[in-house]
Structure 1
Amino acid sequence: MTARAGFNPDESPLARLATRGGRAGGPFLDASEAIAGERLRADFTRGQLMPGITQRWDSQPRQARGSKGSRDLSDSAIDARKRVDAAIAAVGPELSGVLLDVCCFLKGLEIVERERQWPARSAKLLLKAGLGVLARHYGIKPERANDRPVIRRWGTADYRPTIGGGTE
């Protein structure tokens, strides 16, 4: 996974799972699963869904109880929240909790297992299953070693571009 501005791959549990070897010799998470998890995390962050734990120093009064607080959010934050809601709905209630804990709240797998009183290594398997469903929801195709790269373009299936810029 490549680093980008504002993103530290060392703090992500997914980055470690995407580089750490699994039983078959390759990484435990394939690239599509890791990308899907980081995309969920990016939308979670853009949507300002992380609870605040510090004191507010601005002079603005807090929102009244029961209000959504969407007046203070930008359109991009509202859109990000909608994308998070759609992703969580697509994954379902069985797998969404572990995805939110690991991808968004950056909890380690051992902490998730302890908090939910799950058996050892169960969070790892449920995380992989949830990330697979999430990648399918986002339309991210898994990469295989023998697959050729897919060229994405606009056009119909029988469309063929001309080479050399000339007309036929």
Structure 2
Amino acid sequence: MRELVERVFEDGRVTERPSGRGGRSVTVNLAESPLSWLRSRGHVDVRQYEAGERLRADYETAELGPRVTMRWDAAPAGRGRRSAPDALDPTLAGIAAKRRFDAAMQAVGAGLGDVLWRVVCAGEGLTMAEKALGWPSRSGKLVLGLALDRLADHYGLG
């Protein structure tokens, strides 16, 4: 039987308090990524965390995530006087970040890259990633640790 919970939003945090007697209070930081959550609880070391953050930075710089709004790029070029100008090329920083991201994911490997992408780039929790991949419970932390170790080796982090 589930207990009714009252949610209070304060400073980017959600505090859940039981509405009846007994129970416990839980505070969740909505801005915290799954990787930082693992780091703050000692499940990921500094080297693994740095490697994951570097991968996430490349993922975001390359703008590889799904778009949630309309693209406001110029319309396709026409041949007339009143046609839209030629579309701009992607920035060099985005192209370089995409190349670094692809090289890092290739270095990690296909079997480990799935959980790495889900947790670090997509921001899924380990439980959700395990369910989506059809893995047994509590196996994601071990596989993610191996993936982050390979990633740190790729980046040359000591």
Q: What amino acid does structure 2 have at the position aligned with 1:55? A: M
Return 5+ residue gaps in structure 1 as ranges: 1-7, 21-26, 63-69, 142-168
| Partner SS, residue 29 of structure 1 | coil
Return 5+ residue gaps in structure 2 as ranges: 1-28, 77-86
Q: How many Å apart are 1:53 and its aligned residue?
A: 2.1
Equivalent residue, structure 1, for 2:48: 33
| CA separation of 1:9 and 1:90: change in aligned 2, threshold 3 A | farther
Equivalent residue, structure 1, for 2:152: 135
Residues paired across the two proteins, number: 121
TM-score by length of 1: 0.67
Work out which of the residue numbers 48, 51, 58 in structure 1 matches 2:66: 51
Which structure ranks higher in relative contact order (CA pairs < 8 Å, sequence separation ≥ 6)? Answer: 1
CA distance in 1, matches of 2:30, 2:53: 10
| CA separation of 1:71 and 1:30: change in aligned 2, threshold 3 A | same
Equivalent residue, structure 2, for 1:96: 113
Matched, 1:77 2:94: yes
CA distance in 1, matches of 2:43, 2:91: 37
Q: Deviations over 1:61-95 (max 9, x none)?
A: 37xxxxxxx95310010000000010001001010
Equivalent residue, structure 2, for 1:113: 130
Identity of aligned residues (%): 43
CA distance in 2, matches of 1:136, 1:104: 19
Equivalent residue, structure 1, for 2:38: 17
Matched, 1:87 2:104: yes
TM-score by length of 2: 0.71
Is the strand fraction higher in 1 or 2?
Answer: 2
